[in-house]
Amino acid sequence: MNKLSSKIKLIAVSLTIPMTAVLLAACGQNNATNNTRTTLNLSYPTPISTMDNSKANDAASLTMLNHTGDGLYRNGKNGESIPALATKQTVSKNGLTYTFDIRKNVKWSDGSKVTAKDFVYAWRRTANPKLAAQYGYLYKQIHNYSAIQSGKLSPSSLGVKAIGDYKLVVKLDKPVPYFTKLLAFPVFFPQEQKVVEKYGKKYGTNSSTITSDGPFVLKNWNGTGDTWQLVKNNNYWDKKNVHLKKIDIQVSSDPSTTLKLFQQNKLDSTPLNGTQVANYRKSKSFKSYIGGSTVYMLTNEKRLKIFQNAEARQALSLALNRKNLVSDVLRDGSVTPDGFIPTVLDNFKIQGTNENFKQASAYSQGVAYNLPKAKQLWKQALAKSGQKSLTVNLMTDDDYTTKQVAEFIQSQLQKLPNLKVNLTNIPNKVRMSRQDSGNFDIVLTKWGADFNDPTNFLDLMTSNSTFNFGKWSNSEYDRLVNRANNQDANNPKQRALDMANAEKILMKDQGVIPVYEPATTELWNTNVHGYVWSPTGMSRNWKEISIK
Protein backbone atom coordinates (compact mmCIF):
# COMPACT_ATOMS: atom_id res chain seq x y z
CA MET A 1 0.00 0.00 0.00
CA ASN A 2 2.79 2.42 0.88
CA LYS A 3 4.55 1.87 -2.45
CA LEU A 4 1.30 2.28 -4.34
CA SER A 5 0.36 5.46 -2.46
CA SER A 6 3.81 6.98 -2.88
CA LYS A 7 3.79 6.24 -6.58
CA ILE A 8 0.40 7.89 -7.07
CA LYS A 9 1.42 10.98 -5.08
CA LEU A 10 4.59 11.32 -7.13
CA ILE A 11 2.62 11.13 -10.40
CA ALA A 12 0.16 13.74 -9.14
CA VAL A 13 2.91 16.20 -8.20
CA SER A 14 4.78 15.74 -11.47
CA LEU A 15 1.66 16.32 -13.57
CA THR A 16 0.20 19.34 -11.79
CA ILE A 17 1.87 22.13 -13.78
CA PRO A 18 1.66 20.72 -17.32
CA MET A 19 -1.88 19.38 -16.85
CA THR A 20 -3.10 22.77 -15.62
CA ALA A 21 -1.72 24.36 -18.76
CA VAL A 22 -3.45 21.76 -20.91
CA LEU A 23 -6.68 22.37 -19.01
CA LEU A 24 -6.65 26.09 -19.77
CA ALA A 25 -6.03 25.35 -23.42
CA ALA A 26 -8.81 22.74 -23.55
CA CYS A 27 -11.34 25.04 -21.89
CA GLY A 28 -10.48 27.76 -24.35
CA GLN A 29 -10.93 25.37 -27.26
CA ASN A 30 -14.30 24.19 -25.95
CA ASN A 31 -15.60 27.72 -25.52
CA ALA A 32 -14.31 28.79 -28.91
CA THR A 33 -15.61 25.90 -31.01
CA ASN A 34 -18.83 24.78 -29.38
CA ASN A 35 -21.41 27.32 -30.47
CA THR A 36 -24.90 25.92 -31.04
CA ARG A 37 -24.84 22.27 -31.99
CA THR A 38 -27.16 19.33 -31.45
CA THR A 39 -24.84 16.33 -31.11
CA LEU A 40 -23.45 15.43 -27.70
CA ASN A 41 -20.35 13.23 -27.50
CA LEU A 42 -20.04 11.00 -24.44
CA SER A 43 -18.18 7.96 -23.19
CA TYR A 44 -19.46 5.21 -20.90
CA PRO A 45 -17.21 2.87 -18.87
CA THR A 46 -19.09 -0.37 -19.68
CA PRO A 47 -21.04 -1.74 -22.66
CA ILE A 48 -24.78 -2.42 -22.84
CA SER A 49 -25.84 -5.95 -21.88
CA THR A 50 -29.50 -5.84 -22.93
CA MET A 51 -32.22 -3.40 -23.90
CA ASP A 52 -34.96 -5.61 -22.47
CA ASN A 53 -36.10 -3.65 -19.41
CA SER A 54 -37.45 -6.83 -17.83
CA LYS A 55 -33.96 -8.37 -17.83
CA ALA A 56 -31.55 -5.42 -17.46
CA ASN A 57 -29.54 -5.29 -14.23
CA ASP A 58 -26.35 -3.38 -15.11
CA ALA A 59 -25.73 0.36 -15.06
CA ALA A 60 -25.08 0.80 -18.80
CA SER A 61 -28.23 -1.03 -19.87
CA LEU A 62 -30.43 0.69 -17.30
CA THR A 63 -29.02 4.12 -18.18
CA MET A 64 -29.75 3.65 -21.88
CA LEU A 65 -33.21 2.28 -21.10
CA ASN A 66 -33.86 5.37 -18.99
CA HIS A 67 -33.13 7.56 -22.01
CA THR A 68 -35.09 5.51 -24.50
CA GLY A 69 -38.09 4.86 -22.28
CA ASP A 70 -40.68 6.65 -20.18
CA GLY A 71 -42.70 5.15 -17.37
CA LEU A 72 -45.35 6.65 -15.16
CA TYR A 73 -42.67 8.84 -13.56
CA ARG A 74 -39.13 10.05 -14.18
CA ASN A 75 -36.45 10.65 -11.60
CA GLY A 76 -35.74 14.24 -10.46
CA LYS A 77 -32.44 15.77 -9.36
CA ASN A 78 -33.08 15.03 -5.67
CA GLY A 79 -34.42 11.53 -6.20
CA GLU A 80 -38.04 12.68 -6.27
CA SER A 81 -40.56 11.23 -8.71
CA ILE A 82 -41.69 13.59 -11.49
CA PRO A 83 -44.82 12.69 -13.50
CA ALA A 84 -44.09 11.41 -17.00
CA LEU A 85 -46.87 9.29 -18.52
CA ALA A 86 -48.99 9.58 -15.37
CA THR A 87 -51.17 12.69 -15.43
CA LYS A 88 -53.06 11.88 -12.23
CA GLN A 89 -52.61 9.50 -9.30
CA THR A 90 -55.16 8.51 -6.66
CA VAL A 91 -54.57 6.19 -3.71
CA SER A 92 -57.19 4.36 -1.68
CA LYS A 93 -57.50 5.13 2.04
CA ASN A 94 -55.93 1.80 3.02
CA GLY A 95 -52.95 2.49 0.72
CA LEU A 96 -53.51 -0.72 -1.27
CA THR A 97 -54.94 0.54 -4.56
CA TYR A 98 -53.29 3.05 -6.90
CA THR A 99 -55.09 4.43 -9.94
CA PHE A 100 -53.15 6.27 -12.63
CA ASP A 101 -54.52 8.30 -15.52
CA ILE A 102 -52.24 7.81 -18.53
CA ARG A 103 -51.21 10.61 -20.89
CA LYS A 104 -53.14 10.30 -24.17
CA ASN A 105 -50.73 11.76 -26.71
CA VAL A 106 -47.97 9.18 -26.30
CA LYS A 107 -46.61 7.06 -29.16
CA TRP A 108 -44.02 4.37 -29.58
CA SER A 109 -41.14 5.18 -31.92
CA ASP A 110 -42.92 3.14 -34.63
CA GLY A 111 -45.98 5.40 -34.38
CA SER A 112 -48.23 3.04 -32.40
CA LYS A 113 -49.99 4.53 -29.39
CA VAL A 114 -48.84 3.79 -25.85
CA THR A 115 -51.67 2.68 -23.58
CA ALA A 116 -52.27 1.33 -20.10
CA LYS A 117 -52.32 -2.15 -21.67
CA ASP A 118 -48.61 -1.78 -22.50
CA PHE A 119 -47.88 -1.41 -18.79
CA VAL A 120 -50.01 -4.44 -17.93
CA TYR A 121 -48.24 -6.55 -20.55
CA ALA A 122 -44.75 -5.46 -19.46
CA TRP A 123 -45.37 -5.95 -15.75
CA ARG A 124 -46.91 -9.40 -16.21
CA ARG A 125 -43.98 -10.39 -18.41
CA THR A 126 -41.48 -9.21 -15.80
CA ALA A 127 -43.36 -11.09 -13.08
CA ASN A 128 -43.12 -14.36 -15.02
CA PRO A 129 -40.64 -16.54 -13.06
CA LYS A 130 -39.43 -18.11 -16.31
CA LEU A 131 -37.89 -14.76 -17.22
CA ALA A 132 -35.91 -14.69 -13.94
CA ALA A 133 -35.92 -10.89 -13.81
CA GLN A 134 -33.45 -9.81 -11.11
CA TYR A 135 -35.21 -6.51 -10.57
CA GLY A 136 -38.53 -8.32 -10.37
CA TYR A 137 -38.13 -8.18 -6.61
CA LEU A 138 -39.27 -4.55 -6.81
CA TYR A 139 -42.70 -5.97 -7.69
CA LYS A 140 -42.95 -8.02 -4.52
CA GLN A 141 -45.68 -5.94 -2.87
CA ILE A 142 -47.90 -6.03 -5.95
CA HIS A 143 -50.87 -8.34 -5.40
CA ASN A 144 -50.15 -12.02 -6.20
CA TYR A 145 -46.49 -11.48 -7.18
CA SER A 146 -45.17 -13.93 -4.56
CA ALA A 147 -47.69 -16.59 -5.57
CA ILE A 148 -46.70 -16.13 -9.21
CA GLN A 149 -43.03 -16.57 -8.33
CA SER A 150 -43.74 -19.82 -6.50
CA GLY A 151 -45.75 -21.16 -9.43
CA LYS A 152 -49.09 -21.14 -7.62
CA LEU A 153 -50.63 -18.53 -9.94
CA SER A 154 -50.06 -17.41 -13.51
CA PRO A 155 -48.53 -14.00 -14.37
CA SER A 156 -51.97 -12.89 -15.62
CA SER A 157 -53.12 -12.77 -11.99
CA LEU A 158 -50.67 -9.96 -11.10
CA GLY A 159 -52.47 -7.08 -9.40
CA VAL A 160 -52.41 -4.71 -12.36
CA LYS A 161 -55.15 -4.03 -14.90
CA ALA A 162 -56.09 -1.53 -17.58
CA ILE A 163 -59.45 0.20 -17.63
CA GLY A 164 -59.74 1.28 -21.23
CA ASP A 165 -56.63 2.66 -22.88
CA TYR A 166 -55.74 5.36 -20.40
CA LYS A 167 -56.37 4.19 -16.87
CA LEU A 168 -54.05 1.83 -14.96
CA VAL A 169 -55.05 0.26 -11.64
CA VAL A 170 -52.46 -1.37 -9.37
CA LYS A 171 -53.41 -3.42 -6.34
CA LEU A 172 -50.86 -4.05 -3.55
CA ASP A 173 -50.82 -6.76 -0.90
CA LYS A 174 -49.64 -4.25 1.70
CA PRO A 175 -49.00 -0.51 1.92
CA VAL A 176 -45.71 0.60 0.37
CA PRO A 177 -44.63 4.09 1.54
CA TYR A 178 -42.18 4.43 -1.34
CA PHE A 179 -44.27 2.88 -4.14
CA THR A 180 -44.38 5.99 -6.36
CA LYS A 181 -40.58 6.29 -6.07
CA LEU A 182 -40.24 2.83 -7.61
CA LEU A 183 -42.15 3.68 -10.74
CA ALA A 184 -39.40 5.84 -12.25
CA PHE A 185 -37.17 2.75 -12.52
CA PRO A 186 -36.92 1.11 -16.00
CA VAL A 187 -38.25 -2.26 -14.81
CA PHE A 188 -41.64 -0.52 -14.52
CA PHE A 189 -41.57 0.95 -18.04
CA PRO A 190 -44.13 -0.30 -20.61
CA GLN A 191 -43.36 -2.65 -23.50
CA GLU A 192 -44.95 -2.88 -26.95
CA GLN A 193 -46.41 -6.37 -27.00
CA LYS A 194 -46.37 -6.91 -30.78
CA VAL A 195 -42.64 -6.05 -30.89
CA VAL A 196 -41.70 -8.31 -27.97
CA GLU A 197 -43.63 -11.20 -29.49
CA LYS A 198 -42.22 -10.58 -32.96
CA TYR A 199 -38.59 -10.92 -31.83
CA GLY A 200 -39.07 -13.40 -28.98
CA LYS A 201 -35.75 -14.32 -27.38
CA LYS A 202 -34.00 -11.77 -29.61
CA TYR A 203 -36.00 -8.89 -28.14
CA GLY A 204 -33.63 -6.27 -26.71
CA THR A 205 -30.49 -7.93 -28.09
CA ASN A 206 -29.75 -5.15 -30.60
CA SER A 207 -31.15 -1.77 -31.56
CA SER A 208 -33.33 -3.14 -34.36
CA THR A 209 -35.34 -5.40 -32.02
CA ILE A 210 -36.89 -2.71 -29.78
CA THR A 211 -39.20 0.28 -29.87
CA SER A 212 -39.04 3.29 -27.56
CA ASP A 213 -41.47 5.68 -25.90
CA GLY A 214 -38.79 7.91 -24.34
CA PRO A 215 -36.74 10.96 -25.36
CA PHE A 216 -34.32 9.01 -27.56
CA VAL A 217 -34.16 5.95 -29.80
CA LEU A 218 -31.16 3.62 -29.69
CA LYS A 219 -29.34 3.25 -33.01
CA ASN A 220 -26.34 1.27 -34.34
CA TRP A 221 -25.97 -1.08 -31.37
CA ASN A 222 -25.30 -4.63 -32.55
CA GLY A 223 -25.62 -6.27 -29.13
CA THR A 224 -21.91 -6.45 -28.32
CA GLY A 225 -20.37 -3.30 -29.78
CA ASP A 226 -18.65 -0.47 -27.94
CA THR A 227 -20.31 2.37 -29.84
CA TRP A 228 -23.94 3.39 -30.35
CA GLN A 229 -26.14 6.46 -30.74
CA LEU A 230 -29.15 7.87 -28.95
CA VAL A 231 -31.19 9.71 -31.59
CA LYS A 232 -34.03 12.10 -30.76
CA ASN A 233 -37.38 10.31 -30.80
CA ASN A 234 -39.59 12.45 -33.03
CA ASN A 235 -42.66 10.61 -31.72
CA TYR A 236 -41.85 11.49 -28.10
CA TRP A 237 -44.71 13.24 -26.30
CA ASP A 238 -42.36 15.85 -24.74
CA LYS A 239 -40.01 16.31 -27.69
CA LYS A 240 -40.14 20.10 -27.34
CA ASN A 241 -37.93 19.73 -24.24
CA VAL A 242 -35.45 17.43 -26.00
CA HIS A 243 -32.90 19.79 -27.55
CA LEU A 244 -30.33 17.30 -28.83
CA LYS A 245 -30.69 15.48 -32.11
CA LYS A 246 -28.14 12.83 -31.25
CA ILE A 247 -25.83 11.53 -28.54
CA ASP A 248 -22.78 9.60 -29.78
CA ILE A 249 -21.50 7.16 -27.15
CA GLN A 250 -18.32 5.12 -27.04
CA VAL A 251 -17.18 2.70 -24.37
CA SER A 252 -13.93 3.48 -22.59
CA SER A 253 -12.97 2.45 -19.08
CA ASP A 254 -9.68 4.39 -19.10
CA PRO A 255 -9.99 7.97 -17.78
CA SER A 256 -6.65 8.87 -19.38
CA THR A 257 -8.01 8.02 -22.81
CA THR A 258 -11.26 9.90 -22.32
CA LEU A 259 -9.44 12.90 -20.85
CA LYS A 260 -7.35 13.20 -24.01
CA LEU A 261 -10.49 12.99 -26.13
CA PHE A 262 -12.10 15.70 -23.98
CA GLN A 263 -9.08 17.94 -24.42
CA GLN A 264 -9.29 17.39 -28.18
CA ASN A 265 -12.99 18.40 -28.13
CA LYS A 266 -13.99 14.88 -29.19
CA LEU A 267 -15.92 14.30 -25.96
CA ASP A 268 -18.15 16.70 -24.06
CA SER A 269 -17.54 14.95 -20.75
CA THR A 270 -14.96 12.71 -19.14
CA PRO A 271 -14.81 10.90 -15.81
CA LEU A 272 -11.80 11.67 -13.63
CA ASN A 273 -9.69 9.39 -11.49
CA GLY A 274 -7.98 10.53 -8.29
CA THR A 275 -4.79 11.74 -9.94
CA GLN A 276 -6.75 13.81 -12.42
CA VAL A 277 -9.11 15.28 -9.80
CA ALA A 278 -6.20 16.95 -8.02
CA ASN A 279 -5.32 18.83 -11.20
CA TYR A 280 -8.81 19.79 -12.34
CA ARG A 281 -10.71 20.53 -9.14
CA LYS A 282 -10.59 24.32 -9.70
CA SER A 283 -11.64 24.11 -13.34
CA LYS A 284 -15.01 25.55 -14.43
CA SER A 285 -15.55 22.22 -16.17
CA PHE A 286 -15.23 20.24 -12.92
CA LYS A 287 -18.34 18.53 -11.49
CA SER A 288 -18.56 16.29 -8.44
CA TYR A 289 -21.54 14.23 -7.31
CA ILE A 290 -21.75 11.90 -4.34
CA GLY A 291 -24.36 9.85 -2.58
CA GLY A 292 -26.61 6.91 -3.13
CA SER A 293 -24.02 4.15 -3.73
CA THR A 294 -21.85 1.80 -1.70
CA VAL A 295 -18.94 -0.29 -2.98
CA TYR A 296 -18.66 -3.41 -0.84
CA MET A 297 -17.27 -6.94 -0.63
CA LEU A 298 -19.21 -10.17 -0.28
CA THR A 299 -17.65 -13.39 0.93
CA ASN A 300 -19.01 -16.63 -0.48
CA GLU A 301 -20.14 -18.65 2.51
CA LYS A 302 -21.37 -21.51 0.36
CA ARG A 303 -18.05 -21.92 -1.42
CA LEU A 304 -15.62 -21.38 1.48
CA LYS A 305 -16.83 -22.58 4.87
CA ILE A 306 -14.38 -20.33 6.73
CA PHE A 307 -16.56 -17.40 5.71
CA GLN A 308 -19.50 -18.90 7.59
CA ASN A 309 -17.54 -17.80 10.65
CA ALA A 310 -18.28 -14.20 11.69
CA GLU A 311 -14.71 -13.76 12.95
CA ALA A 312 -13.36 -14.34 9.43
CA ARG A 313 -15.65 -11.73 7.90
CA GLN A 314 -14.95 -9.26 10.71
CA ALA A 315 -11.19 -9.77 10.29
CA LEU A 316 -11.34 -8.86 6.60
CA SER A 317 -13.30 -5.71 7.38
CA LEU A 318 -11.07 -4.59 10.25
CA ALA A 319 -7.98 -5.05 8.05
CA LEU A 320 -9.12 -2.31 5.64
CA ASN A 321 -7.82 1.21 6.23
CA ARG A 322 -10.64 2.95 4.39
CA LYS A 323 -9.35 6.44 5.18
CA ASN A 324 -6.14 5.67 3.35
CA LEU A 325 -8.10 4.27 0.45
CA VAL A 326 -10.14 7.43 -0.15
CA SER A 327 -7.34 9.90 0.66
CA ASP A 328 -4.30 8.20 -0.92
CA VAL A 329 -5.66 5.96 -3.68
CA LEU A 330 -9.02 7.25 -4.89
CA ARG A 331 -8.55 10.98 -4.13
CA ASP A 332 -11.68 11.81 -6.11
CA GLY A 333 -14.04 12.93 -3.36
CA SER A 334 -15.16 9.42 -2.44
CA VAL A 335 -15.82 9.02 1.28
CA THR A 336 -15.53 6.33 3.91
CA PRO A 337 -18.83 4.56 4.70
CA ASP A 338 -20.52 4.55 8.09
CA GLY A 339 -22.44 1.39 7.23
CA PHE A 340 -23.93 -0.47 4.31
CA ILE A 341 -26.58 2.16 3.57
CA PRO A 342 -25.07 5.34 2.09
CA THR A 343 -25.03 8.61 4.01
CA VAL A 344 -27.37 10.26 1.50
CA LEU A 345 -30.14 8.77 3.64
CA ASP A 346 -29.15 10.97 6.59
CA ASN A 347 -32.29 12.95 5.82
CA PHE A 348 -34.50 9.95 6.56
CA LYS A 349 -35.90 11.15 9.90
CA ILE A 350 -37.33 8.95 12.63
CA GLN A 351 -40.60 10.50 13.70
CA GLY A 352 -40.95 11.36 17.37
CA THR A 353 -37.19 11.23 18.03
CA ASN A 354 -34.19 13.52 17.61
CA GLU A 355 -32.41 10.92 15.47
CA ASN A 356 -32.25 10.29 11.77
CA PHE A 357 -31.94 6.80 10.33
CA LYS A 358 -28.14 6.77 10.02
CA GLN A 359 -27.66 7.86 13.65
CA ALA A 360 -29.96 5.13 14.89
CA SER A 361 -28.31 2.44 12.76
CA ALA A 362 -24.69 3.38 13.44
CA TYR A 363 -22.25 0.60 14.38
CA SER A 364 -18.76 1.97 14.03
CA GLN A 365 -16.91 -1.35 14.36
CA GLY A 366 -18.48 -2.55 11.13
CA VAL A 367 -16.34 -0.08 9.17
CA ALA A 368 -13.45 0.47 11.61
CA TYR A 369 -9.74 -0.13 10.99
CA ASN A 370 -8.00 -2.22 13.65
CA LEU A 371 -5.23 -4.41 12.25
CA PRO A 372 -4.16 -6.05 15.56
CA LYS A 373 -7.77 -7.06 16.24
CA ALA A 374 -8.12 -8.22 12.64
CA LYS A 375 -5.08 -10.49 12.95
CA GLN A 376 -6.41 -11.94 16.19
CA LEU A 377 -9.82 -12.70 14.70
CA TRP A 378 -8.27 -14.19 11.56
CA LYS A 379 -6.15 -16.58 13.60
CA GLN A 380 -9.28 -17.66 15.47
CA ALA A 381 -11.15 -18.19 12.22
CA LEU A 382 -8.34 -20.31 10.75
CA ALA A 383 -8.22 -22.43 13.90
CA LYS A 384 -11.99 -22.98 13.93
CA SER A 385 -11.92 -24.06 10.30
CA GLY A 386 -8.96 -26.39 10.88
CA GLN A 387 -6.75 -24.54 8.41
CA LYS A 388 -3.22 -23.23 8.78
CA SER A 389 -3.35 -20.97 5.74
CA LEU A 390 -5.73 -19.86 3.03
CA THR A 391 -5.51 -18.60 -0.54
CA VAL A 392 -8.55 -16.72 -1.84
CA ASN A 393 -9.46 -14.98 -5.05
CA LEU A 394 -10.83 -11.44 -5.10
CA MET A 395 -12.97 -10.89 -8.21
CA THR A 396 -13.47 -7.32 -9.47
CA ASP A 397 -14.22 -5.31 -12.59
CA ASP A 398 -11.31 -4.43 -14.84
CA ASP A 399 -11.76 -0.65 -15.14
CA TYR A 400 -8.95 1.67 -14.06
CA THR A 401 -10.35 2.76 -10.70
CA THR A 402 -11.52 -0.68 -9.62
CA LYS A 403 -8.12 -2.17 -10.40
CA GLN A 404 -6.51 0.38 -8.08
CA VAL A 405 -9.01 -0.38 -5.33
CA ALA A 406 -8.46 -4.11 -5.80
CA GLU A 407 -4.69 -3.74 -5.44
CA PHE A 408 -5.18 -1.71 -2.28
CA ILE A 409 -7.53 -4.33 -0.79
CA GLN A 410 -5.10 -7.09 -1.73
CA SER A 411 -2.24 -5.32 0.04
CA GLN A 412 -4.38 -4.76 3.15
CA LEU A 413 -5.80 -8.27 3.47
CA GLN A 414 -2.43 -9.95 2.95
CA LYS A 415 -1.31 -8.40 6.24
CA LEU A 416 -3.49 -11.00 7.91
CA PRO A 417 -1.45 -14.08 8.96
CA ASN A 418 -1.22 -16.85 6.36
CA LEU A 419 -3.68 -15.26 3.95
CA LYS A 420 -2.85 -14.89 0.26
CA VAL A 421 -5.16 -12.92 -2.02
CA ASN A 422 -5.11 -13.34 -5.79
CA LEU A 423 -6.87 -10.85 -8.06
CA THR A 424 -9.17 -11.54 -10.98
CA ASN A 425 -9.97 -8.31 -12.86
CA ILE A 426 -12.57 -9.05 -15.54
CA PRO A 427 -15.10 -7.11 -17.64
CA ASN A 428 -18.17 -5.93 -15.74
CA LYS A 429 -20.52 -8.19 -17.69
CA VAL A 430 -18.43 -11.29 -16.95
CA ARG A 431 -18.02 -10.35 -13.28
CA MET A 432 -21.75 -9.93 -12.87
CA SER A 433 -22.44 -13.29 -14.52
CA ARG A 434 -19.99 -15.10 -12.24
CA GLN A 435 -21.25 -13.19 -9.22
CA ASP A 436 -24.86 -14.11 -10.00
CA SER A 437 -23.98 -17.80 -10.24
CA GLY A 438 -21.90 -17.78 -7.03
CA ASN A 439 -18.65 -18.43 -8.89
CA PHE A 440 -16.32 -16.44 -6.59
CA ASP A 441 -14.48 -16.49 -3.25
CA ILE A 442 -14.75 -12.75 -2.54
CA VAL A 443 -16.33 -10.26 -4.92
CA LEU A 444 -16.07 -6.48 -4.98
CA THR A 445 -19.43 -5.15 -6.10
CA LYS A 446 -21.54 -2.01 -5.94
CA TRP A 447 -25.13 -1.06 -5.26
CA GLY A 448 -26.76 2.26 -6.05
CA ALA A 449 -30.10 3.25 -4.57
CA ASP A 450 -32.92 2.50 -7.00
CA PHE A 451 -35.17 4.67 -4.83
CA ASN A 452 -34.72 6.85 -1.76
CA ASP A 453 -35.49 4.44 1.06
CA PRO A 454 -33.23 2.28 3.28
CA THR A 455 -35.13 -0.89 2.42
CA ASN A 456 -33.62 -0.75 -1.07
CA PHE A 457 -30.29 -1.79 0.48
CA LEU A 458 -31.57 -3.92 3.35
CA ASP A 459 -33.69 -6.13 1.09
CA LEU A 460 -30.54 -7.22 -0.76
CA MET A 461 -29.20 -9.14 2.21
CA THR A 462 -32.29 -11.07 3.28
CA SER A 463 -31.82 -14.82 3.15
CA ASN A 464 -33.93 -15.37 0.04
CA SER A 465 -32.79 -12.33 -1.94
CA THR A 466 -31.45 -13.05 -5.43
CA PHE A 467 -28.84 -10.34 -4.75
CA ASN A 468 -27.49 -12.09 -1.65
CA PHE A 469 -24.71 -13.68 -3.67
CA GLY A 470 -22.60 -14.65 -0.66
CA LYS A 471 -25.51 -16.47 1.05
CA TRP A 472 -25.14 -14.76 4.43
CA SER A 473 -28.23 -15.43 6.55
CA ASN A 474 -29.54 -14.12 9.87
CA SER A 475 -33.08 -14.89 11.06
CA GLU A 476 -33.40 -11.78 13.26
CA TYR A 477 -32.28 -9.59 10.38
CA ASP A 478 -34.89 -11.22 8.15
CA ARG A 479 -37.56 -10.68 10.79
CA LEU A 480 -36.82 -6.96 11.15
CA VAL A 481 -36.74 -6.32 7.41
CA ASN A 482 -39.98 -8.26 7.07
CA ARG A 483 -41.62 -6.17 9.81
CA ALA A 484 -40.52 -2.94 8.14
CA ASN A 485 -42.04 -4.10 4.88
CA ASN A 486 -45.24 -5.51 6.35
CA GLN A 487 -46.89 -4.91 9.72
CA ASP A 488 -44.98 -1.66 10.37
CA ALA A 489 -45.31 -0.30 6.81
CA ASN A 490 -47.87 2.31 7.93
CA ASN A 491 -46.02 3.18 11.14
CA PRO A 492 -43.17 5.48 10.01
CA LYS A 493 -41.38 5.60 13.39
CA GLN A 494 -41.41 1.87 14.06
CA ARG A 495 -40.59 1.08 10.45
CA ALA A 496 -37.49 3.29 10.62
CA LEU A 497 -36.41 1.67 13.89
CA ASP A 498 -36.88 -1.80 12.38
CA MET A 499 -34.59 -0.88 9.51
CA ALA A 500 -32.02 0.80 11.75
CA ASN A 501 -31.80 -2.28 13.98
CA ALA A 502 -31.52 -4.51 10.92
CA GLU A 503 -28.52 -2.57 9.64
CA LYS A 504 -26.87 -2.85 13.07
CA ILE A 505 -27.19 -6.64 12.89
CA LEU A 506 -25.80 -6.66 9.35
CA MET A 507 -22.76 -4.66 10.43
CA LYS A 508 -22.15 -6.51 13.70
CA ASP A 509 -22.24 -9.87 11.93
CA GLN A 510 -20.39 -8.38 8.95
CA GLY A 511 -22.83 -9.83 6.43
CA VAL A 512 -21.32 -7.34 3.98
CA ILE A 513 -17.99 -5.51 4.08
CA PRO A 514 -18.54 -1.86 3.04
CA VAL A 515 -15.44 -0.40 1.37
CA TYR A 516 -16.30 3.17 0.30
CA GLU A 517 -19.00 5.47 -1.03
CA PRO A 518 -17.92 6.47 -4.54
CA ALA A 519 -17.95 10.00 -5.87
CA THR A 520 -18.76 10.73 -9.48
CA THR A 521 -16.22 13.31 -10.64
CA GLU A 522 -16.33 14.56 -14.20
CA LEU A 523 -15.33 17.34 -16.53
CA TRP A 524 -18.14 18.77 -18.62
CA ASN A 525 -17.92 21.12 -21.55
CA THR A 526 -18.99 24.45 -20.03
CA ASN A 527 -21.33 25.03 -22.97
CA VAL A 528 -23.40 21.99 -22.03
CA HIS A 529 -26.48 22.83 -19.96
CA GLY A 530 -29.40 20.90 -18.50
CA TYR A 531 -27.61 17.76 -17.27
CA VAL A 532 -29.39 16.34 -14.22
CA TRP A 533 -27.66 14.00 -11.77
CA SER A 534 -29.62 12.32 -8.97
CA PRO A 535 -28.16 10.51 -5.93
CA THR A 536 -30.89 7.83 -6.08
CA GLY A 537 -32.70 6.01 -8.84
CA MET A 538 -31.46 6.56 -12.39
CA SER A 539 -28.62 9.00 -11.72
CA ARG A 540 -27.90 10.33 -15.20
CA ASN A 541 -30.54 12.30 -17.07
CA TRP A 542 -29.59 13.67 -20.48
CA LYS A 543 -33.15 14.42 -21.65
CA GLU A 544 -33.04 18.23 -21.48
CA ILE A 545 -29.37 18.82 -22.28
CA SER A 546 -28.60 21.63 -24.69
CA ILE A 547 -25.30 22.92 -26.06
CA LYS A 548 -24.98 26.67 -26.42
Question: 79 or 297, which is more confident?
Answer: 297
How confident is residue 346, by pLDDT bands cut at 50, 70 and 90? low
Report how many helices (DSSP H) and strands (DSSP E) the chain contains, helices first. Answer: 17, 22
**What are the angstrom distances between the C-alpha of 112 and each of 104, 107, 285, 447?**
12, 5, 41, 36
Which uninterrupted H or E stretch holds 358? Answer: helix 357-361
* pLDDT over 60 (residue 452): yes
Q: What is the mean pLDDT of residues 483-509?
A: 91
Query: Cα dihedral angle (254, 257, 263, 266), rounded to 10 degrees?
Result: -100
Residues 6+ positions from 130 with CB-CB distance below 8 Å:
none
pLDDT tens per residue across span 128-174: 999 999 899 899 889 999 999 999 999 999 999 999 999 999 999 98
Distance (Å, rounded) from C-alpha 369 to C-alpha 342? 19
pLDDT tens per residue across span 27-40: 433 443 445 799 99
CB-based contact 466:438 (threshold 8 Å): no
Phi-psi label, residue 38: left if phi above 0, alpha if psi -120 to 50, beta otherwise: alpha
Domain covering 59-217: architecture: Alpha-Beta Complex (3.90)
Residues 6+ positions from 299 with CB-CB distance below 8 Å:
307, 312, 313, 316, 441, 442, 470, 472, 513
Residue 360 is predicted with a pLDDT of: 79
* pLDDT over 50 (residue 24): no
DSSP 459: G
Class for the domain spanning 293-516: alpha beta
Average pLDDT along the chain: 89
* pLDDT over 90 (residue 75): no
Distance (Å, rounded) from C-alpha 403 to C-alpha 410? 10
CATH topology of domain 18-46+218-290+527-547: D-Maltodextrin-Binding Protein; domain 2 (3.40.190)
E-strand ranges in 208-258 read 216-219, 227-232, 246-251
Domain ranges within the chain, ordered by starting residue: 18-46+218-290+527-547, 59-217, 293-516
DSSP 169: E
* pLDDT over 90 (residue 274): no
* pLDDT over 90 (residue 322): yes
How confident is residue 432, by pLDDT bands cut at 50, 70 and 90? very high
Q: What is the mean pLDDT of residues 395-420?
A: 95
How confident is residue 407, by pLDDT bands cut at 50, 70 and 90? very high
